[in-house]
Amino acid sequence: MSSPSRTTLHEWQAVADHARATGRLTLRELFAAEPIRAERFSFEACGLFVDHSKQRLTEGTLPLLIRLAEACGLRERIEAMFTGERINTTEGRAVLHVALRAPRGETILVDGKDVVPEVHEVLDRMAAFCRRVRSGDWLGHTGKPIRNVVNIGIGGSDLGPVMAFTALRHYADRALTFRFVSNVDGTDFAEATRDLDPAETLFIVSSKTFTTQETLANAHTARAWLLTSLCDEAAVAKHFVAVSTNAVEVAAFGIDTATMFGFWDWVGGRYSMDSAIGLSTMLAIGPEEFHELLAGFHAMDEHFRAAPFEANLPALQGLITVWNATFLGAATIAVLPYDQYLARFPAYLQQLTMESNGKRVTLSGRVIDDYQTCPVFWGEPGTNGQHSFYQLIHQGTQLIPCDFIGFIESLNPLGQHHDLLMANCFAQAEALAFGKTAAEVRADGVPEELVPHKTFPGNRPSTMILARRLTPRLLGSLIALYEHAVFTAGVIWDINPFDQWGVELGKVLAKRIVPELESAEDPKLGHHDHSTAMLIRRYREARSG
Ligand code: F6P
């Protein structure tokens, strides 16, 4: 029996009524009405200062959203997650990425078994391996030390490692070269390896399931690439390690399970960058800094679990996402880091947010037809985006709330650069919120026919996330902020953020099409729709012709 829609809760209706009643208030009016607004709506924890004052919130909005969260059982759901309940009900699994960063000595039980010692056992093995590689003690098959590390994985087994490597490059061992191969497009592998010496290259095959088509194709290609040069099967043991939950498939691929780093079915792919999937991150920054990253995650975990919702960064962020997407009708949210090191952060967040909450069925199986769930997340670093898509955010017809992320100190202080960067960051949020009225434009002496074009409507909401410095610890807290915000929003929308059935159909159909592309015969009549059959035929004919 499916449970009633969230819309039947009177707390939901109260938020909906409030949105209707306050929807016409502008940020100009809200700021004018309350001079200390920035203080009321600013929050701080784990090194992150978060200013929500430029969101379209009145004094009454957050209390109503918090009441909704309570009515939806957010507090109980948080406890259920942290105590290892199988809250990923459609896969029958616990959801315990928080255990990946639990300090040694803490206890987290799954089916009566404490999982924290196993987590640290793997972390210790990873650290020992990373020390050997980083010190030059781990030798390749020909006796040369490893100089290049290539992570092969896709989705959560790629986006987290790439994002973390890019974000923490400042802390990385520059003597090692890191590459990431994800796409089954051969170009990805070819370009990643074209200038590498196989004798100095280590492949990390990262796959939770070790059955992912793209990753296995790339791993087989990597193996052939290595053996073409080193001409000895025994070389595989020195140049391949695996990160997976599936020891059987790892062994079947030919990687010694002694050089496999494991994790567990209670870690979702998009929540796995701090598990052994972070091996490339640890190789880059070293075990000590990796533990700092984990400490940052853990600090935010504790904050999320303990802080009252009124001051709880992830809970508030998740609730404001719901407010914008479901009650104010925003179909997308832009994530705009003003830090080049966070260039891949929006891409990482796309999987985290949209693979988690991009769903239209409730936990009890009801199709949601009475409210919108997850918006599209996207973005690019500032200031680059300003010269590309910000036009639409400022003057387009859609409401696009923005998350700005900036730092007080640059990791590469160069003249005036950082002040220019942050001046732009603050200016964009100000311009979006307050715009420029037609009267102000006219006062600048703009000819009347250009006034509408040069007017900025403003009232475009944003959140500013500010921190002192991008460190491994800070990055951990920032990611955990978003992880738990995603969970919060999922609870309000009554969906399971931890499965991903929506990726399956395309995989099945692709498997069916592969032999058809390679066969000499036309696909069987009725096997595909007219369009797909035509495309397959055209591809085959052009290839063979
Ligand atoms: O296809 C989606 C997905 O299952 C993601 O959820 C996951 O992160 C990715 O594929 C890679 O999966 P694996 O780590 O098992 O190769």
For residue range 409-454, list pLDDT tens digits in order: 999 999 999 999 999 999 999 999 999 999 999 999 999 999 999 9
Look up residue 228 and give its amino acid: T
10 Å CB burial of residue 174 (0-12, 13-18, 19+) is exposed
d(CA 523, CA 540): 10
Alpha carbon distance, N-terminus to C-terminus of the chain: 57
Catalytic residue among 507, 511, 527, 541: 507
Position 397 confidence tier, pLDDT thresholds 50, 70, 90: very high
Tokens read off for 326: 């479901």
- Dihedrals φ, ψ of 88, to 5°? -85, 80
Q: Which atom of ligand 1 is nearest to the CA of 500?
A: 6
Q: Which atom of ligand 1 is nearest to the CA of 504?
A: 1
The mean pLDDT of 296-302, rounded to a whole number, is 98
pLDDT score recorded for residue 513:
94
CA dist list (Å): 322 to 171, 333, 359: 36, 11, 14
Residue 525 has pLDDT above 70, yes or no: no
| Nearest one of 436, 428, 339 to 388, comparing CA atoms | 428
Is the CB of 273 inside a 6 Å radius of any atom of ligand 1?
no
Q: Is the pTM of this model over 0.75?
A: yes
- For 192-223, how does the pLDDT look when each residue is reduced to its tens digit (9 = 90+)? 999 999 999 999 999 999 999 999 999 999 99
Handedness of CA 529, 530, 532, 537 (dihedral sign): positive
d(CA 407, CA 97): 27
Residue 511 annotated among the catalytic residues of the structure: no
3-state secondary structure 431-476: HHHHCECHHHHHHCCCCHHHHHHHCECCCCCEEEEEECCCCHHHHH
Mutate to test the pocket of ligand 1, among 353, 500, 508, 509 (most ligand atoms within 8 A of CB): 500
Q: Which atom of ligand 1 is nearest to the CA of 270?
A: 8
Is the CB of 208 inside a 6 Å radius of any atom of ligand 1?
yes
Pairing label, strands 113-114, 48-51: unpaired
Q: How far does the centroid of ligand 1 lie from the alpha carbon of residue 284, in Å?
A: 23
CA-nearest residue, atom 1 of ligand 1? 503
pLDDT score recorded for residue 1:
75
Position 538 confidence tier, pLDDT thresholds 50, 70, 90: very high
CA dist list (Å): 317 to 72, 125, 254, 487: 16, 36, 45, 10
CB 137 within 8 A of CB 329: no
CB 258 within 8 A of CB 238: no
pLDDT score recorded for residue 544:
80
CB 299 within 8 A of CB 481: no
The mean of the pLDDT values for the chain is 96
